[in-house]
Structure 1
Amino acid sequence: MGKQLLDIIFSSEKRKRVLLLLQDGPKETNTLLRSLDTKRKSLLPQIKVLEDNNLVFHYKDTYELTSIGKVVVDKMSPLVDNIELFESDIDYWGTHRLDFVPAVLLKEMRQVKNCTILQPSLTELFELNRRFMEETYNSSHLCTVTTLFHPQFRDIYLKLVDSGVKISLIISDELFRKTKAEKYSDLKQIMNQKSVDIFVYNKPIKLASFSVNNHSLILRLLATEGQYDNRYLILEGQGAVNWGKEVFDYYLKESMPITEIQQA
């Protein structure tokens, strides 16, 4: 995409949004006006620029992408989605590790539309996110990848099991060894639950923790230098859930199931 074409698309928010709206098919002028919440005299000059550059054409009062426009929008749509996600808090995203998944999965974060960054106070550090937990109790399945356990992890997981939630848990090798040595009976009790599957990931996990239920996911990233950060992300919506399951499956492929443990 040449510089001139990039300028035409991205130097005007209206032009960019018109192209994205037309990605779903032809639209009448009034439909575009309502979607953009703008006036005709403000919109039509911007559409004229798109027409002059062979990105859009119109017949009667309907606008549609040209063949070139369709190719361009197919390429720009993922970029726009990712930009909008990272712009929600560019300082946070720019100071945290994003290499916990391969590049192809990172690009698919474009599926995520609703993202909130939360920072608990010192007195809230060990409190679970209430909304996420309520959604988890109303879910059929919880998938987690983690390098750390909550101090009351046994009680939390047992309560979820009692609520009928299936749990798939991937933990780092370091966490597995530490928990087996220091919390053997708790780990054993969790493993004995029929609706709990535990796996160990033997490679470095480049995030603190990650959990996805049927409604949302919670993600704790590491800072750029690998330090723990108590801030975390809540990502909501079906797109976030779909992406979360893809991330979990990525780790699951190289994880080893743990069916029994021996006390050291």
Structure 2
Amino acid sequence: MGSSLSDTVWLSDKRLNLLLLLMEGPRNIDQIKTSLNVTSRGMMPQIKKLKEKYLIVEENEQYCLSTIGGLIVEKMLPLLNTIEMVNNDDTYLEAHDLSELPPKLFRRLYELGNYLLIEPDLNHTFEIPREFTENLLKSKNIKSIISFYRPEYPDIYCELMEHAESMSLIMTPPVFERMKHSCDSKMTRLIRAPHIHVYIFPENSRPPGLDTSDRFTYISFLDKNGRYDHKDIMSFDESALKWGDELFDYYCSLCEKIES
């Protein structure tokens, strides 16, 4: 009995890796051997099986994905990327509340890519991570969701106001009131600055904390009890920047803009 199409794809790392390689474009056998670190003897039987299932074709001594092969690999990539992302640190995602994410972006969570888990040591638990502030201060275009208050925020965002070309801030009502109460003059400066836009998120919602810019995306998911546990995700992948930008725009569409 012949193997199924799914068996052909999934039950051999060599076949799977070849399909992923050919997603980048046609390759001859020497290029395949070099890229995948395989021998002709080990690879040719796998190529034969993929050709028999019409997943790849050979043209002018080069192998490329067939129309069917391209369709299958395109659909495989989100699953493979999601598995890779979860393997990065499955306990973090399981312990945090992702329910506030819009379904479309939840399904594309893998676009966070090769993210870093930022977790301060016990001596610096309540300090804002250096990795966050350094990259934020180097950013030119910033979009932030401030879903919980930290005493350093007024100073940080006022400093950013002097350096950034544009900045949009979404705050929950409690954060907005706390910022005004703690430093009304700084909040007034932020609201009146022509290149700064401040929005208020609807009551009774707790989006994740988010800072996304032309440099990085930084996310602070709340835990499943609605608390911030000082564990954050930071990614510099281009796909993560786009994902963070879309997440901000989604929440911004639900907000009320504060006029100066």
Provide, for residues 130-162 of structure 1, a one-character-per-residue CA deviation record: whole Å limited to 9, x for no partner.
Answer: 334333333221110121132121211121122
Provide, for residues 189-228 of structure 1, a one-character-per-residue CA deviation record: whole Å limited to 9, x for no partner.
Answer: 4323333211011054444411011111111112234332
Alignment of 1:1-264 (within 5 A): 4-260=4-260
Counterpart of 1:146, as a letter, is: I
1:36 is displaced (CA, Å) by 1.9
Q: If the length of structure 1 is used for normalisation, what is the TM-score?
A: 0.87
Structure 1: how far apart are the matches of 2:46 and 2:226?
A: 46
Structure 1: how far apart are the matches of 2:74 and 2:110?
A: 13
1:181 is displaced (CA, Å) by 4.2
Structure 2: how far apart are the matches of 1:218 and 1:89?
A: 16
CA contact (8 A) 1:207 1:220 kept: no
User: Using a 3 Å threshold, how does the CA distance of structure 1 residues 182 and 241 change in structure 2: closer, same or farther?
Assistant: same
SS in 1 for 2:98: coil
1:182 is displaced (CA, Å) by 4.7
SS in 2 for 1:44: helix
Counterpart of 1:197, as a letter, is: H
- List gaps (5 residues or longer) in structure 1: none
Counterpart of 1:246, as a letter, is: E
Structure 2: how far apart are the matches of 1:99 and 1:238?
A: 24
1:60 is displaced (CA, Å) by 4.9
1:81 is displaced (CA, Å) by 1.8
Deviates more, 1:126-135 or 1:170-179: 126-135
CA contact (8 A) 1:125 1:230 kept: yes
CA contact (8 A) 1:215 1:237 kept: no
CA contact (8 A) 1:97 1:207 kept: no
CA contact (8 A) 2:154 2:183 kept: no
Provide, for residues 82-106 of structure 1, a one-character-per-residue CA deviation record: whole Å limited to 9, x for no partner.
Answer: 2222221122222222223222122
Provide, for residues 44-92 of structure 1, a one-character-per-residue CA deviation record: whole Å limited to 9, x for no partner.
Answer: 3322332232212224531111222122112112222222222211222
User: Using a 3 Å threshold, how does the CA distance of structure 1 residues 147 and 13 change in structure 2: closer, same or farther?
Assistant: same
SS in 2 for 1:38: coil
Structure 1: how far apart are the matches of 2:36 and 2:207?
A: 38
1:229 is displaced (CA, Å) by 2.0
Structure 1: how far apart are the matches of 2:11 and 2:195?
A: 53
SS in 2 for 1:76: helix
Deviates more, 1:143-152 or 1:5-14: 5-14
1:183 is displaced (CA, Å) by 4.3
User: Using a 3 Å threshold, how does the CA distance of structure 1 residues 208 and 92 change in structure 2: closer, same or farther?
Assistant: same
User: Quick one: percent identity of the two aligned structures?
Assistant: 27
Deviates more, 1:143-152 or 1:99-108: 99-108
Counterpart of 2:259, as a letter, is: T
CA contact (8 A) 1:135 1:213 kept: no
CA contact (8 A) 2:115 2:234 kept: yes
1:6 is displaced (CA, Å) by 2.8
Deviates more, 1:242-251 or 1:46-55: 46-55
CA contact (8 A) 1:26 1:64 kept: yes
Structure 2: how far apart are the matches of 1:135 and 1:191?
A: 23
Counterpart of 1:142, as a letter, is: I
Structure 1: how far apart are the matches of 2:95 and 2:147?
A: 20
